[in-house]
Amino acid sequence: MIARRLLPIALTAILAAGALRAELAGDAEAGAALYGQCKGCHEIGKGAEDRIGPHLNGLFGRRAASHEGFAYSASMQRAGVDGLIWGFDTLDAYIENPRALVSKTRMSFRGIKDAQDRADLMAYLRSFSADPANIPEAAPTARGTDHTVDPAILAIQGDPEYGEYLSSECVSCHQADGSSEGIPSITRWPEEDFVVAMHAYRDQLRPHPVMQMMAGRLSNEEIAALAAYFKDLD
Amino acid sequence: MTLNRRKFIAVGAATAASLSAPHVLADNHGKPRVVVIGGGSGGATAARYIAKDSKGAIDVTLVEPSRTYFTCYFSNLYIAGFTDLEDISHTYGTLAAKYGINVVHDWAVDVDRDAKTVSLAGGSVLPYDKLILSPGIDFVEGAVPGWSVAAQNKMPHAYKAGSQSELLKAQVMAMPEGGRFAMVAPPNPFRCPPGPYERISMVAHVLKQTNPTAKILLVDPKESFSKQALFEEGWERHYSGMIERVGPDFGATNVTVDPEAMTVDIDGSVEKVDVCNVIPAQKAGRIADMAGVTDGNWAPVNAADMSSKADPDVHVLGDSAQQGDMPKSGFAANSQAKVCAMAVRGALTGSKVFPAKFTNTCWSLIAADDGVKVGATYEATAEKIAKVDGFISQTGEDAATRKATYEESVGWYAGITADMFN
């Protein structure tokens, strides 16, 4: 949660700079311009259809991978089954770094790092959701929240020997040979993907209760150790 | 265990050594020796991890009477027809071939903790530096008056999987139309806390298909049970009117059975039934008692390394251990085995020992694609294995969530059995 603690500092900086953009409220007009990055794959608005990605009408409040007729990745389907609902926090995290929330998503997008840009984009997306009564108005979309894992945490060199011991808890369910029947494979994963995924569970952005529990008691060093171990596991 | 008996065993060991020159002794090249008794979730995992991670530096012998092991978990699903018996059967060939574990199919009949040897029914004597006991459960004699293991074919327990599971399933399938299935559930603590209730669900599932007017009588000495709200919600939804539970308020703490007459006497009220599944009160597997590491029905252990409170060179895993907050489950035994394996390797080879962490999750199936789960994490304290955090499935969850939970349990089954046997 270090990233969240950074928020007041960011706010202070913005306030000091006099950038009082309605307390960071999402600006749908600015979001419309930012949507240019999305529209190559996602249609939105009247008559929108699925293209490379699903159309984004009625996105808020929808369960991940629940839009009928679109062929989602297995990873996105699993996230939906696990209970991922598109709301402010989850969408914010997904747009910031798609793989933090859905490891093998087919959405090939580097993410938007600026919290204000994301707030703007979501304000725009929100205007196409059918039932805005279910969407909290100003409050949630007013704040940009940074979910990015602190670079200092990403830079921790994990101890693979410790990771090997810790991994014995993982392989009760996740098979060491990489099989993925019912439970996904976690072997040969890029270290950073592993770390951001575990932090997303620990922060309860990813919904799975077992994984939230498992990640919830791992320290930053332990997550790094596991990532270091699993990246080379055949 | 008496001193006299120990002396006798020690003499027996010497005799065995001189007559048959046990190969275990002959093959040992000064390596530290670990003997593991019991090839289930605790023992197979411990043997595999010690052999795998010590890379040949430790001589590991696994003593398990059965050549084919049937997991208790998923044996209820077999009764309902969701899995075959072959799918829950496992053998020990890979442990021998891939990790060099000396797998001995024999009964351990005594432990001499002074001489540090284990005697087998076949006459061999195995010396050890560290002994790991993971013998599962035995039944408390006289726990359900009228029932004994001699009556287990008339009234199966099916709480050790295999032929007993087959027998119980066959009896359920042969019930007369509109007949009655009874279960006498055990008091706490016992193996697999949700197990009896998953079994009730699975029997209800199969009867609903084949014999829909049949009834189920659950005689339960406990006030409450694991995942109770989830099971009761599921029974109402899937098997409404089929299952009757008699609790302690209505005499379920005073139950006797008559296997010949096929009757269950609940506090004086005699019920005639067609199938009677008696799951008696339980205790540590007998070898733990013979090793002298039990206190009452169970074997107290230190949480940090699962070592016996009676002997630092004996470790007790799984159902037999009295460790604190963890339920008696295959998942828990597997988790404890890894902590124990690390500690044993550390003691024998000086490998690094990290702090103990334990986890458990228990999945149960209520009906087709209606899975639920409960789980927790644990840590070692000076007193016990103590719960840190946990979760449980919620009542009213949607069908997609329940289906995913069931599929996850299938994935877990593949995972844990690979972690034990592959």
Domains, chain B, with CATH or none: 3-138+283-355 (3.50.50.60), 141-280 (3.50.50.60)
**Cross-chain Cβ contact A183/B411 below 8 Å:** yes
Provide the chain A residues 78-107 that lie in CB contact (below 8 A) with chain B. 78, 80-83
Is any Cβ of chain B less than 8 angstroms from the Cβ of A176? Answer: yes
Q: Quote the tokens at residue A94.
A: 């997904």
**Same structural domain for residues A136 and A119?**
yes
Whether A219 is in a domain gets the answer yes
Q: Give the DSSP letter string of B183-207.
A: EEPPPSS-BSTTHHHHHHHHHHHHH
pLDDT of B106 reads 98
**Same structural domain for residues A131 and A170?**
no
**Same structural domain for residues A115 and A187?**
no
Looking at the 3D structure of chain A, how many domains does it have? 2
Instruction: Give the number of other CB atoms < 10 A from CB of residue B112.
Output: 23
**Same structural domain for residues A88 and A165?**
no
Lowest mean pLDDT among A191-195, B125-129, B239-243, B372-376: A191-195
Which segments of B323-394 does DSSP mark as H helices, in order?
330-349
- Average pLDDT along chain B: 93
Cβ density class B208-220: b for 16+ within 10 Å, e for less: eeebeebbbbbbb
d(CA B371, CA B393): 9
Closest alpha carbon within chain B to A182:
B411
Helix-strand-coil split of chain B, %, nearest 5: 35, 30, 40
Whether A2 is in a domain gets the answer no
pLDDT of A88 reads 83
d(CA B283, CA B187): 11
Whether A18 is in a domain gets the answer no
SS3 call for B22: coil
Closest alpha carbon within chain B to A172:
B416
**Same structural domain for residues A42 and A132?**
yes
Domain that holds residue A217: 151-230
Q: How far A183 CA sits from the closest chain B CA (Å)?
A: 5
Closest listed residue to residue B357, CA positions, set B384, B382, B377: B377
pLDDT (average), residues B206-231:
97
Q: What is the pLDDT of residues A99-130, one digit of tens each?
A: 889 988 999 898 998 888 998 898 899 888 86
Interface probe with A: pick from B55, B329, B374, B412, most Cβ of A within 10 Å:
B412
- A144 pLDDT higher than 60: no
Closest listed residue to residue B108, CA positions, set B65, B152, B149: B65
Q: Quote the tokens at residue A38.
A: 């999305």
Q: What is the pLDDT of residues B262-301, one digit of tens each?
A: 999 999 999 999 999 999 999 999 999 999 999 999 999 9
Q: Quote the tokens at residue A109.
A: 């997008």
**Same structural domain for residues A126 and A57?**
yes
- A45 pLDDT higher than 70: yes
Whether A13 is in a domain gets the answer no
Is any Cβ of chain B less than 8 angstroms from the Cβ of A219? Answer: no
Question: Parallel, antiparallel, or unpaired: how do β-strands B311-316 and B307-308 relate?
Answer: antiparallel
Provide the chain A residues 179-208 that lie in CB contact (below 8 A) with chain B. 179-183
pLDDT (average), residues A212-222:
93
pLDDT (average), residues B207-223:
97
pLDDT of B202 reads 98
- A6 pLDDT higher than 90: no
Provide the chain A residues 130-169 that lie in CB contact (below 8 A) with chain B. 161-162, 164-166, 168-169
- B27 pLDDT higher than 50: no
pLDDT of A178 reads 83
pLDDT (average), residues B50-77:
97
C-alpha pair distances (Å), B17 with each of B29, B115, B124, B146: 17, 14, 8, 44
Q: How far A170 CA sits from the closest chain B CA (Å)?
A: 9
- B23 pLDDT higher than 80: no
Q: What is the pLDDT of residues B314-371, one digit of tens each?
A: 999 999 999 999 999 999 999 999 999 999 999 999 999 999 999 999 999 999 999 9
Reported as half-sphere exposure (CB side, CA atoms, 13 A), residue B145 has a value of 8
pLDDT (average), residues A216-229:
94
Is any Cβ of chain A less than 8 angstroms from the Cβ of B55? Answer: no
**Same structural domain for residues A127 and A174?**
no
DSSP secondary structure code for residue B271 in this structure: E
d(CA B108, CA B320): 15
Q: Does the CA dihedral B330-B332-B333-B337 come out positive or negative?
A: positive
Instruction: Give the number of other CB atoms < 10 A from CB of residue A67.
Output: 17
Give chain B positions within 8 Å (CB) of A174: 415
Whether A136 is in a domain gets the answer yes
Give chain A positions within 8 Å (CB) of B390: 213
Q: How far B294 CA sits from the closest chain A CA (Å)?
A: 28
**Same structural domain for residues A34 and A128?**
yes
Is any Cβ of chain A less than 8 angstroms from the Cβ of B29? Answer: no
- Average pLDDT along chain A: 81
Q: Give the DSSP letter string of B284-302.
A: E-HHHHHTT--BTTBEEB-
**Same structural domain for residues A32 and A138?**
yes
Is any Cβ of chain A less than 8 angstroms from the Cβ of B399? Answer: no
Q: Domain containing A135 — which CATH number?
A: 1.10.760.10
- B413 pLDDT higher than 80: yes
- B383 pLDDT higher than 50: yes
pLDDT of B25 reads 41
Reported as half-sphere exposure (CB side, CA atoms, 13 A), residue A80 has a value of 18
Instruction: Give yes or no for a contact between A173 and B330, defined as CB atoms under 8 angstroms apart.
Output: no
Is any Cβ of chain A less than 8 angstroms from the Cβ of B352? Answer: yes
Element (H, E) at A166: helix A160-170
pLDDT (average), residues B29-50:
95
d(CA A171, CA A178): 10
Closest listed residue to residue A41, CA positions, set A31, A32, A52, A33: A52
- Among A124, A142, A160, identify where a domain stops: A142
Is any Cβ of chain B less than 8 angstroms from the Cβ of A216? Answer: yes
**Same structural domain for residues A48 and A72?**
yes
- A74 pLDDT higher than 80: yes
pLDDT tier, B231 (very low <50, low <70, confident <90, very high otherwise): very high
**Same structural domain for residues A138 and A208?**
no
pLDDT (average), residues B179-193:
98
Q: Does the CA dihedral B79-B81-B85-B89 come out positive or negative?
A: negative
- B6 pLDDT higher than 90: no
**Same structural domain for residues A47 and A85?**
yes
Higher pLDDT, A81 or B227: B227
Whether A180 is in a domain gets the answer yes
pLDDT of A127 reads 86
